[in-house]
Structure 1
């Protein structure tokens, strides 16, 4: 069994505005954009509406270029707390691009009051 049992595809549009200044001629996905997309995908998959986000530890291990295939693996480690792993590349060549622990504070499931 995988250490990260939930797997989702991630997509960052090649024309994302962050690429304009990060870095001209050799664009890479900024870490904050990578983490934001991962947290949004996690929240959507879990049906959560977080009020705020706390990032425990985040490590960015390899650069991600526009249009590269991405996937998010995650697992709950406590209520509202998750360990994330973002991989870049296809199934056969995927490398871990980033890892993080996050807490979605005040998160409610969609439809809760």
Structure 2
């Protein structure tokens, strides 16, 4: 299953500058995903990280992996869809994060996430990001699902 940017935006509540998934290449609902983030010099974080030597912050790479995870975790589950304003999907844990190589403008970040466990309240994943076949970041990530009370 592939998704373009319009289909991604229909599934995630994130918008510029925090939407960090541009395309889904492969997705097995509830199991795994391969997605793409095209890294451009126009990213707002490059203004200060670092002037004259732009490097994508590691926290943004982890956030991109968590967004990719949300896409496949709830595909077809209308009860727990993070695009639903009554449900919030929070990144709550990162273990074993390693950043192996800088990600710079012009890179295409390949986001690969596998589900270790998905439940109604907590999800755990094994995630890695690559550029040109080389691992640039990897981590175990955990996300919590919360129903948001309407005011």
Is structure 2 residue 35 aligned with structure 1 residue 8?
yes
User: Are the equivalent residues in 1 in contact too, given 2:112–2:129 (CA < 8 A)?
Assistant: yes
**Distance apart, 1:45 and its partner CA:** 3.1
**Distance apart, 1:11 and its partner CA:** 2.8
The partner residue of 2:51 within 4, 11, 24 is 24
**Distance apart, 1:13 and its partner CA:** 3.9
Is structure 2 residue 70 aligned with structure 1 residue 34?
no
**Distance apart, 1:10 and its partner CA:** 2.1
Match of 1:70 in 2: 109
Aligned length, in residue pairs: 101
Deviations 1:26-81 (A, max 9, x none): 10101011111221122123335314421122110100101201111111112310
Match of 2:145 in 1: 106
Is structure 2 residue 110 aligned with structure 1 residue 83?
no
User: Are the equivalent residues in 2 in contact too, given 1:10–1:38 (CA < 8 A)?
Assistant: no
TM-score using structure 1 length: 0.77
- C-alpha RMSD of matched pairs (Å): 2.1
Which structure carries more relative contact order (alpha carbon 8 Å, separation 6+)? Answer: 1
Match of 2:10 in 1: none
User: Are the equivalent residues in 2 in contact too, given 1:10–1:41 (CA < 8 A)?
Assistant: no
SS at match of 1:106: strand
User: Are the equivalent residues in 1 in contact too, given 2:33–2:69 (CA < 8 A)?
Assistant: no
The structure-2 alpha-carbon separation of the partners of 1:107 and 1:85, relative to structure 1 and needing over 3 Å to count, comes to farther
